[in-house]
């Protein structure tokens, strides 16, 4: 197995491994690389949905995503429509960590490329761990004592399209009611490394609790802008069959929606055992 760092602080491309047939030793090595680099990329894997689910199971317990369409247990459809017809009110064009509106959110995820546009559709990841480390000590101390509310409706409530069928609206509202807001630290300590990571995002975070709303907005904006600094980022240009495996605490990500064809990825989530 060969690991090639793509930037100084985040991301490595991994060669010489077949994710459909990995040994225990390879899994341990991949897991350590994931903790060290935040996101790992594997070319030309072309995993079936069952192979993808099996590989992710070896990292930890699955996280059911009942609000997402699936092809099999713990393999979910992430489909993005062409730029001219995409509903930009959805919020997913912002930097985010996945499903933080859950109390038991995913610690990590895998994406596999099933269908890609001819041009565009890259994804960027940013190291929330390195972003926190780079903050002035005075700001670090302040953020370490704060908690934030994460809310499914923060993104989904204003995506209710007036032209949706009534059954679709009922389904959306049920998702909201089934996933009530929860509170997470603004700076989350990684469960395996113990390292602090910024853990707020524009998609799911609604406010910092127990402080004035205007002050909350200012502090959240500071965190959002800092996470999006290019110095903390890696960019991946997808090819069909590629796999991206990423830590959902020490990184945030954003999809670049700049294409005229549909893009289809399969996603699987896990929590570290």
Distance of alpha carbon 181 from its chain centroid, rounded? 18
Q: Which of 37, 98, 107, 150 is catalytic?
A: 98
CA 28 to chain centre: 22
Quote the CA–CA distance of 139 and 117 in Å, as a whole number. 41
Q: Which of 184, 190, 267, 269 is catalytic?
A: 267
Residue 158, judged by CB atoms within 10 A of its CB (0-12, 13-18, 19+), counts as: exposed
| 198 closest CA partner among 222, 179, 218, 215 | 222
Tell me the two tokens of residue 99: 């499903």
Give yes or no: 210 in active site: no
168 catalytic, yes or no?
no
Does the annotation mark 253 as catalytic? yes
Catalytic residue among 96, 107, 130, 156: 96
Residue with tokens 């953020």: 143
CA–CA separation, 118 vs 24, rounded Å? 37
| Given the residues 107, 184, 190, 253, the one annotated as active site | 253
**Which DSSP string do the residues of 175-188 spell out, in sequence order?**
HHHHS--EEEESEE
Q: Which positions are annotated as active-site residues?
A: 96, 98, 253, 267
């Amino acid at each position: 197995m060969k690991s090639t760092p793509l930037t100084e602080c985040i991301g490595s491309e991994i060669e010489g491994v077949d994710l459909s047939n990995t040994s225990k030793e390879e899994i341990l090595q991949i897991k350590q690389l994931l903790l060290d680099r935040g996101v790992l990329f594997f070319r030309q894997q072309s995993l079936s949905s069952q192979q993808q689910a099996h590989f992710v199971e070896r990292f930890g317990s699955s996280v059911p995503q009942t609000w997402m369409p699936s092809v099999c247990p713990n393999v979910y459809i992430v489909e993005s429509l062409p730029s001219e017809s995409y509903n930009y009110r959805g919020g997913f064009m912002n930097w985010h960590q996945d499903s933080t509106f859950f109390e038991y959110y995913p610690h990590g995820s895998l994406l596999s490329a099933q269908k890609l546009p001819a041009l565009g559709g890259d994804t960027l990841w940013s190291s929330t761990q390195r972003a926190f480390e780079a903050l002035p000590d005075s700001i670090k101390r302040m953020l370490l004592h704060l908690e934030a509310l994460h809310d499914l409706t923060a993104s989904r409530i204003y995506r209710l399209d007036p032209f949706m069928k009534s059954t679709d609206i009922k389904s959306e509202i049920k998702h909201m009611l089934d996933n009530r807001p929860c509170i997470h630290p603004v700076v989350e300590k990684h469960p395996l490394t113990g390292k602090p990571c910024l853990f707020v995002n524009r998609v799911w975070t609604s406010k910092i609790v127990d402080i004035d709303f205007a002050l909350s907005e200012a502090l959240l904006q500071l965190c959002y802008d800092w996470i999006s600094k290019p110095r903390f980022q890696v960019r991946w240009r997808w090819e069909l069959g590629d796999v991206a495996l990423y830590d959902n605490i020490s990184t945030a990500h954003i999809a670049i929606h700049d294409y005229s064809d549909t893009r289809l990825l399969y996603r699987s989530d896990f929590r570290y055992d």
